[in-house]
Every structure is written in structure tokens, then in C-alpha cells.
Structure 1
Amino acid sequence: MTLDASRSRATAETRLELASAASVNPLGTGEGGVVLNSASGRLYTVNDTALAFLRELDGKRSVSEIAERLSEEFAQNHAIILRDLIPVANLLIDAAVIRVLR
């Protein structure tokens, strides 16, 4: 999947929410999960970090605030998690799995 430059881009301050046509289903501990976009019929697999990110989306907290929460959960540096989440968020925006609220 390539990034679509015409769509909104995620930044550290962006607020995001799961798209109405998307559903997230965990596969089990350490197995990640699957995301279905029912509008397109596309199915995506995600790792545990992306699954945790999707579960944290509430439209209120920024990507940076979610990264802070995940840095605690995964015992990883906030800056590293944030650096890794932004491109993932942009791919999920392009897949119409999540949407930008700003």
C-alpha cells in the first residue's frame, strides 16, 4: 500500500478515530489482530502494537498521547513509539480504517 498524498496526514498532535466501516478483532495474546474495512471488503493484519494503537483511538487523545500510553504498556521510549506510529497511522488513514479529526 502506498501513501495517498490527497488525504489528511497524521502528526503527533492529530486526533484519530476508527472509521465507521472498520472493525478490529484481536487474534489472541501475542498474535496481533485483523481489521476489516466493510466498505471496501479489505482485510488487514496488524501486529500487537498496531492493535493496541487501534484500541486506544477515541477521537479525544492525540497520537502523541496514545504513544505515551503505549510506551508504558510496552516499556518502550515514547519517541520511538511515536516515530513508529505516525507512518502506521498514515497507512491506516489511506486504507480508510481510521479517520482524522484534528
Structure 2
Amino acid sequence: MRFDSVIRFYEEGKKYNFQTSQFNGSPKLLLEVMGNVTDMGVDRAYRLLGSLSQGVKVVRLTEPVDFKWSYLTIGDSPKKYRLRTAQTPLKNYSLLVGEDVG
């Protein structure tokens, strides 16, 4: 298994300002790490998540992510991915993430 993709974990810096009725702040980069990213098949997504979802990816890391994060990006793509579920098999740590639609 090759860990050839750059995974960036972010925390949303959006805080609501009641005086201006706007969200202020910018995202904060928490961690940048190398990982293995694959698409999840339709049958496996249905078995694990109970629905057919597009944009679901499996991100495998060597170490668990033990801090709170809002979303992640993969490589240079502007797409944001949110956590669906996490698994800890014997050797690596796996995150199942889905595309952010909002």
C-alpha cells in the first residue's frame, strides 16, 4: 500500500458575529500527512453506510487522528470531505469520508 496522497486536516474558523449577522474567520490547517486514498465501491458503501452515496473515499493513515477536525482535503483538490466513520484495523487507521455538499 502506497501512502502517496497529501491529506490536510482543517478546523473551520467560522464564528457567527451577532452584530453583523455574518460568519467571520478562516479555516485553520491542523495537520498535513501522507495517506492512501481509494474510492469506495457501490456495494461496500451500501453495506457499511446503508445508502448509495457518491464521493465516498477511504483514507488510510499510519497513525490515528486523535484531535477534533472539521473537514479534510486530498491533494490539491478544493473538495472538502467530512467524516462518515472511522475504523481501526490491525495495521493502519481508516477514515471513511464523504464529499461536503453544503
**TM-score of the aligned structures, taking structure 2 as reference length:** 0.29
More helix by share: 1
Which is higher, the Rg of structure 1 or of structure 2?
Answer: 2
**TM-score of the aligned structures, taking structure 1 as reference length:** 0.29
Whose relative contact order is higher, 1 or 2, with alpha carbons under 8 Å and at least 6 apart? 1
